[in-house]
Structure 1
Amino acid sequence: MRWAPPESRSRHAIRDHIEANLDPVEDHQEITFLSTCYDFPWDTQRALELALIRVFGIARSSRLLARTGEFLERTQKRYDDTVLILSEMLENGYDSERGRAALRRMNQQHRRHTIPNDEYLYTLSTFVFEPVRWNERFGWRPLTEKEKLATYHYWKRVGALMNIADIPPSYEAFERFNVDFEAEHMRFSEDNRKLAVATRDLLLSWVLPGPLRPLGARVAHAMLDDRLLDALGLPRPAPALRRLVEGAIRARVPVLRAMPRRRSPRLLTMKKTRTYPDGYRIEDLGAR
């Protein structure tokens, strides 16, 4: 399934189309696809990487993640598998043939472990709110209320298809759950640190040679808030470095605003991955 964008090349064509023609409940898949794959593909991917690292700050969750060894011993594969499964649902529709296959594969993976419902809920909430928070810090335009609500309804439906119970009934209630859960459960453990370092080093390895990665680590830490850094056992950056890093990311905003919109969606399912350079089958994603 693909959702066609408006024909206009205006930088705000996607936003204007969503505002004029789409409903955040009934059309949540289309809105999420257009917003993510046309207007904010790079930003959403970075935000979801931060969401992954944020989950590592919950000591209760990190024990299981460390015990399986997937994120520590097969970090690249676990990252690629997660991205591809989520992208199959987003880019094709969770009710398409490929979307249903990806959802089925994800549920098969989760059934191997006993995971408390509130940990599922917290992870789901990061998929909703980390892209919103990233946008508030670095977005080239603000997300509209329709886009925010559509994101909530998209992940609420995916959560229901995962048999997650007690999903809060509104965007605001889910955000309160997210904030309260972190306040109660974001605590340091050594497993947190190991998972965060493994994932951070993987992300840095894609863009920096070995000698520059310690500097890259300091830059990466500057993008995380102090409570999360403390929970991960990572050093807090100097305030000046944090301002420099955030300013550098915001410097792209005028350039992005001046560009015409994307003419084709950025589809992660169509890109080569390091784990599957020759393509993949959905049934092969995840742990054996």
Structure 2
Amino acid sequence: MKRFEWRDRIHTLDAEADCEEIARILAAHEFPWDIEQALGLALYRTYAVPSVGQLLADTREFTERTQHRYDDTALILNDIMEHGFGPGRGRDALRRMNQMHRSYDISNDDYLYVLSTFVVMPVRWINDHGYGWRCLSDHETAAHTNYYRKLGRHMGIKEIPETYEEFRHLMDSYEAEHFAYTDGGRAVSDATLELMAGFYPAWQRPLVRPFTKALLDDRLVKAFGYPEPSKTWRALASGALRLRAKVVRRMRPRKEPRWARQSPNVRSYPEGYDPARIGTFPQGCPVPHGMATVEVPATGALVPAPGQAVAPTTED
């Protein structure tokens, strides 16, 4: 394969109708490591929103079982991306995610914000910061945006922005209004940084923490109450990632896909996993016994059959 063969293939596809295929090529062939890092930082940012960070801390799952929650998040998003929204593992993962979310009182505004981080952060990592081996084109950015718009619709999120620029504006304005320090958000942040450091050999861990914090923008550092990273660490971190990008640019294209489930950092299920059975079950079985339900064809969500009362743990 030629170095830009995947890029050229993407530009033969439609940014809306083929957004799932384009998203898979970007995530599993062109930028697997970059998108994995960017999505990790996207989720990390959400801890600085008090309603999100404190909720995650109150469950204690993200502070006491951090590895499991990291793995569950990576695997569920992986299966939706890898297998799509149709029947099978992708729909099972989508249903499992929706079941977990519906167990908590999460506002549509918070859903929109989290979705916006998934749209914006990979583009910022690859294009704006220059950490990708090449830039995403407008066509690829549109397809990436459309994929997450589709995911948002399957999650039942309302008033989803239509363009990347609208998502970018939503994310920046939401953070400017809502980012604030909470003990819960700081606790989840500390646990996450500790987990990330544990992915590296012991002798590297004292370097991983300041390196990672140097990648955080000032608004995020302030929201978590961390000391401001030094200019030296910021320069070293960004310089190392840009150097890596130059090296990757000279490598051969990836023929076989590299999925997040293949990451050595995912450690909780060495014997394999069923996407319908991972994650948390804070309110027991998501479908109450004795309640008749029907499946929504477009999303795979289970909803009460006509005439049934809505149960708080049932998917919308």
Give matches, 1:264-279, under 5 Å. Answer: 264-270=256-262, 273-279=266-272
Distance 1:250 1:35 in 2: 19
Distance 1:189 1:198 in 2: 14
Q: Which runs of 5+ in 2 are unaligned?
A: 282-316
Distance 1:175 1:268 in 2: 25
Q: 2:179 aligns with which of 158, 175, 186?
A: 186
**By how many angstroms is 1:212 displaced?**
4.5
**By how many angstroms is 1:215 displaced?**
3.0
Q: 2:124 aligns with which of 105, 108, 133?
A: 133
**By how many angstroms is 1:151 displaced?**
1.2
In the alignment, is residue 227 of structure 1 matched against residue 219 of structure 2?
yes
1:285 maps to which residue?
278
Q: Secondary structure at the match of 2:201?
A: coil
Distance 1:268 1:188 in 2: 31
Distance 1:223 1:116 in 2: 29
Q: For structure 1, which segment, 235-244 or 166-175, has the greater mean C-alpha deviation from structure 2 after superposition?
A: 166-175
2:300 maps to which residue?
none
1:262 maps to which residue?
254
Q: 1:71 aligns with which of 62, 69, 74?
A: 62
The structure-2 alpha-carbon separation of the partners of 1:212 and 1:171, relative to structure 1 and needing over 3 Å to count, comes to closer
Alpha-carbon displacement from aligned partner over 1:64-88 (angstroms, at most 9, x marks no partner)? 1111111011100000000000000
Distance 2:118 2:170 in 1: 13
Whose helix proportion is higher, 1 or 2?
1
The structure-2 alpha-carbon separation of the partners of 1:189 and 1:122, relative to structure 1 and needing over 3 Å to count, comes to same
Q: 2:161 aligns with which of 165, 168, 184?
A: 168
Q: Secondary structure at the match of 1:284?
A: coil
Distance 1:214 1:132 in 2: 29
In the alignment, is residue 245 of structure 1 matched against residue 237 of structure 2?
yes
The residue identity in structure 1 corresponding to 2:147 is Y
In the alignment, is residue 52 of structure 1 matched against residue 52 of structure 2?
no
In the alignment, is residue 199 of structure 1 matched against residue 199 of structure 2?
no
Aligned residues: 278
Distance 1:196 1:271 in 2: 21
The structure-2 alpha-carbon separation of the partners of 1:271 and 1:223, relative to structure 1 and needing over 3 Å to count, comes to closer
2:24 maps to which residue?
33
Q: For structure 1, which segment, 241-250 or 77-86, has the greater mean C-alpha deviation from structure 2 after superposition?
A: 241-250
- TM-score normalised by the chain length of structure 2: 0.85
The residue identity in structure 2 corresponding to 1:134 is W
2:78 maps to which residue?
87
Alpha-carbon displacement from aligned partner over 1:146-172 (angstroms, at most 9, x marks no partner)? 111111111111111111111113222
Distance 1:197 1:256 in 2: 31
Q: Which runs of 5+ in 1 are unaligned?
A: 1-8
Alpha-carbon displacement from aligned partner over 1:179-238 (angstroms, at most 9, x marks no partner)? 1101100111111111111001101101131x6533321111101111101101122111
2:311 maps to which residue?
none
- TM-score normalised by the chain length of structure 1: 0.93
The structure-2 alpha-carbon separation of the partners of 1:212 and 1:53, relative to structure 1 and needing over 3 Å to count, comes to same
Over the aligned positions, Cα root-mean-square deviation in angstroms equals 1.3
- Check whether the contact 1:87–1:268 (CA below 8 A) recurs between aligned residues: yes
- Check whether the contact 1:193–1:234 (CA below 8 A) recurs between aligned residues: no
